[in-house]
Structure 1
Amino acid sequence: MNAPRLAMAALSPVEFTSIKQAEDHLLQFGDLQGQTIEKMTQEHPMVDQCYFKGMTFLGDTFERFELTDVVFENCTLANCQLTGASWYRVQFKNCKLVGTTLDHAVLKDVAFQDCDLSLANLNQAKLTNVTFTDSRLQELNCLETQLRQVKLGGCDLDAADFTETSLKKIDLTTCTFTTLQVTAVDVRGCRMTTEQAAYCAQLFLGVDWLA
């Protein structure tokens, strides 16, 4: 995965709300910390080479939210509507995106580490070179989504829904789940533990697996 190209020494403090007055709604070379943005609406905001730390976004609507070379650390983006987002070389560290909608998003070279995406929506999205590490993906909705070179490491996938999303070449062996919403076609070609495979055998074939 290509990491964000971010020169911290070139960043200056800025208020996120200034993006509304900026030409083309572009926020660039910004150091944003400790701000709370609630129920803000903005069409096609663009953020380039910025660092967010301790920021709180609650119930905001940013249609076609474009991020390039951006880092989020200890941030909250809860229940935000980010339909049609385009994210390139973006990192999220210890962030909360609970209930956030990213339907029809395009994510490339994006990393989520120690994040909570429970109840988030990634339906009909395109993910390329995206990693989820030690993150909560409980009840994640990921229907009809394209996953290319996606890695899941140490994630909680309980009750996640991958209906009509191919998990081919996805390694689930370090992940945990009690239930998973998938079809037999969805999991064809993915890598599982013996227990996970036994769950699928029972789910699809009604087979009782005895250890």
Structure 2
Amino acid sequence: MAVKKEKSILDAPRIPKELDQLTVSDYEMQDKQVFENGRFTQDKIANQTADKVIFDRIVFDNVVFDEIALERAELTDVVFNRCDLSNVNFRDSILHRVEFNHCKMLGFDLSSSTIRNVKFDECYGQYSVYRFTDMKYVSVKRSNFDKADFYEAAFSKVEITETGIDQAQFSGAKLSGMNLSTCEFQSIGVTLEGLQGCIVSSDQVRGFAYLLGVVVND
């Protein structure tokens, strides 16, 4: 009997079969510049600062982003494969149908952004920042988000599975309906109110005893 494949909660990026080869390594990005229907491959994008840049139907393969600040960017139907996005600043941006696959994202900043249908798969997102970010239809799988900052993030239809979130900050965020039972952590920053309705494993419950003022005697 055939096993029915579980449907993803996300809408995948809509990428055309044919893409133009693009490069930005030789010139400076401009405010409100538009990149569309293209692929960046084994490129290095460095020392770029611009506002409201638009990426539409774009694939980044093995691209290194160095000293990049693209606040209020708009990314629609975009895929990042094996990219280094460490310390990239995408604050106040809009992401829709975006995938991050096997990416290094240490200190990646998406604070105060709106993200919809976004996937993080096998990414290194330690110290990444999502403060006040509105997240809906988001999947984080097989990744490391230790010490990531989700302070007062808004979660709806968000999955975080098989992911390290040790010392991640969730204060001010409501985790109701989220299943963290497959995640690895010793402690996370969260309020008792924010934790209500969250699904955790029996082993993880012990780590939240401090919220109740309970001392667990082994």
Q: Bin the TM-score by the shorter chain.
A: over 0.9
Instruction: Call closer, same or farther: CA 1:179–1:21 in 2, change over 3 Å.
Output: closer
CA contact (8 A) 2:54 2:73 kept: yes
5 Å-filtered alignment, 1:4-153, equals 4-8=13-17, 10-16=18-24, 20=29, 24-153=32-161
Residue 13 of structure 1 and its aligned partner are, at CA, apart by: 0.4
Spell out structure 1 runs of 4+ moving beyond 4 A.
Answer: none
Match status 1:2 vs 2:11 = yes
The SS at the match of 2:131 is coil
Distance 1:167 1:16 in 2: 39
User: Over aligned residue pairs, what C-alpha RMSD do you find?
Assistant: 1.5
Post-superposition Cα deviations, 1:62-102, rounded to whole Å, max 9, x if no partner, equal 01121100111000111111110100000110001111111
CA contact (8 A) 1:19 1:27 kept: no
Post-superposition Cα deviations, 1:15-62, rounded to whole Å, max 9, x if no partner, equal 13568369x400001111111112210111100001110000022100
Distance 2:171 2:34 in 1: 36
Distance 2:182 2:201 in 1: 8
Post-superposition Cα deviations, 1:158-206, rounded to whole Å, max 9, x if no partner, equal 00000000001000000010111111111110000011112112x2123
Of 193, 198, 201, which aligns to 1:190? 198
Q: Name the structure where helix makes up a greater proportion of residues.
A: 1
Look up the match of 1:178.
186
Aligned length: 208
Instruction: Tell me the TM-score normalised to structure 1 length.
Output: 0.94
CA contact (8 A) 1:19 1:45 kept: no
Identity of aligned residues (%): 26
Stretches of structure 2 that go unaligned for 5 or more consecutive residues are 1-9
Distance 1:168 1:197 in 2: 15
Aligned residue identity for 1:78: S
Distance 1:93 1:176 in 2: 20
Distance 1:71 1:148 in 2: 22
Match status 1:206 vs 2:213 = yes
Stretches of structure 1 that go unaligned for 5 or more consecutive residues are none
Post-superposition Cα deviations, 1:89-138, rounded to whole Å, max 9, x if no partner, equal 00110001111111101000000000011101100000000000001111
Aligned residue identity for 2:149: N
